[in-house]
Structure 1
Amino acid sequence: MKLRTFAAASLAALMSVSAWADKYTIDTEGAHASVQFKIKHLGYSWLTGRFNDFKGEFTYDEKNLAASQVNVVINTKSIDSNHAERDKHLRGNDFLEVDEFPKAIFQSTKVIPGKDGEFQIVGDLTLHGVTKEIVIDAEHIGGGNDPWGGFRNGFEGKATLTLSDFNMNFNLGPASKEVELYLHAEGIRQK
């Protein structure tokens, strides 16, 4: 009997922690969020781009940051490097293979609080048919009421991915083995 009572109390405590965290939808409709990337081109310059179509949500409790969660789904076909032929190549067999792998999915597994609004988001990224744990270095930018009667919180994050970890092995040269991701997310609190 004591074990059942303890289990019920533990479950209630876990549910109450997530119940206190506010739920947000990432504002992609208003273009207040972005998923951008850059990779060295032959070691001489940076090639930059973005994904134009994605959606996501997160929970956020500023008093218990570790209880926060993030989920994002990216349409890989929406890759845009501002060059049509290059984008066709990026969507093809040498890289994203978007017909076979139309989505990249990130699901957080834990949030590690830091100092001065900084923290780490640890989670699983599924990209190109491979799921790997990644770490996003993140920062809370700010939050408050918006002019439309809602409430928002905004964050930015950065992560570095090794292409070969996700079975993308096209030879771009020794300086181009990693891609840097830059994430900006303004979320609208759900009522």
Structure 2
Amino acid sequence: MKSKFFKGLALATLISASPLYAADYVIDTKGAHASIEFRISHLGISWLTGRFNTFNGDFSYDAKSPADASINVEVDVASFDSNHAERNKHIRGDEYLNVKEHPTASFKSTSFTPNAEGGGVMKGMLTLYGTTKEVAIDVDKVGEGEDPWGGYRVGFSGTLELKPHEFGMNYKLGPAAETVYMDLNIEGIRK
């Protein structure tokens, strides 16, 4: 009887340590190997670019079952950075992001439709400026493999197009600036 118990315990230990649980990743923001950058047209002449410096999240991904992929991300909206102190203050203020009332933005995936290259379309709920809407992000798989420190990593990039007025931001920037492009680079370290 003891023998069966220990065999069962050994099997349970083996299963819990197996690659079935190896598909969970933490986004590597501490090592600065992930970014959320934006670009918006400035007068239809050039691009105003910047980034959100502080965010965190995790995701699940298994190359053998990519349709099961999921991700959760939370962004500190006050970390908005356009490399210009006065503009940052203005954009963080009441007219635009209103970070006092809406300090965080978040994305929680609802489905992933993979393609043959390992990328696909990630759909989910984006909460921004106190409004939650479904969005779709075209995703490319950049690569995966062991890192020099004995860990395992996987990386993706994607672009999200959003219209701020659909989230309740009604400050008019002109027709050339109705769309914001969010360029996402996500590298995860397997937990």
Q: TM-score, normalised by structure 1?
A: 0.88
The alpha carbon displacement at 1:20 in A equals 5.3
Give aligned-pair identity as a percent.
52
Counterpart amino acid of residue 145 in structure 2 = G
Q: Residue 188 of structure 2 aligns to a residue in which SS?
A: strand
Alignment of 1:37-52 (within 5 A): 37-52=38-53
Provide the rounded CA distance (Å) in 1 between the counterparts of 2:173 and 2:46: 13
1:185 counterpart residue number? 186
> What residue ranges of structure 1 are gaps of 5+ in the alignment?
1-18
Q: 1:150 and 1:81 mapped to 2: Cα distance? A: 33
* Structure 2 counterpart of 1:89: 90
Match of 1:148, as an amino acid?
W
Gaps of 5+ in 2: 1-19
Distance in structure 1 (CA, Å) of the matches to 2:57 and 2:67: 19
Structure 2 residue aligned with 1:115:
116
SS of structure 2 residue aligned to 1:175:
helix
The 5 Å alignment of 1:125-140 reads 125-140=126-141
* Normalised TM-score (structure 2): 0.88
* Residues in 2 aligned to 1:119 and 1:107: alpha-carbon distance in whole angstroms: 16
The Cα shift of 1:150 comes to 0.4
The amino acid that maps onto 1:75 is D
Aligned residues of 1:21 and 1:68 also touching (Cα < 8 A): no
Match of 1:38, as an amino acid? Answer: R
How far has the Cα of 1:116 moved from its partner? 1.6
Structure showing greater Rg: 2
Number of equivalences: 172
- Check if 1:73 corresponds to 2:56: no
Q: How large is the RMSD of aligned CA atoms in angstroms?
A: 1.0
- 1:66 deviates by 1.1
CA distance in 1, matches of 2:118, 2:63: 9
1:136–1:157 contact (8 Å) kept in structure 2: yes
Equivalent-residue separation in structure 1 for 2:116 and 2:86 (angstroms): 43
Measured against aligned partners, the alpha-carbon deviations of 1:54-92 in whole angstroms (never above 9, x if no partner) come to: 001000011111111100000000000001111111101
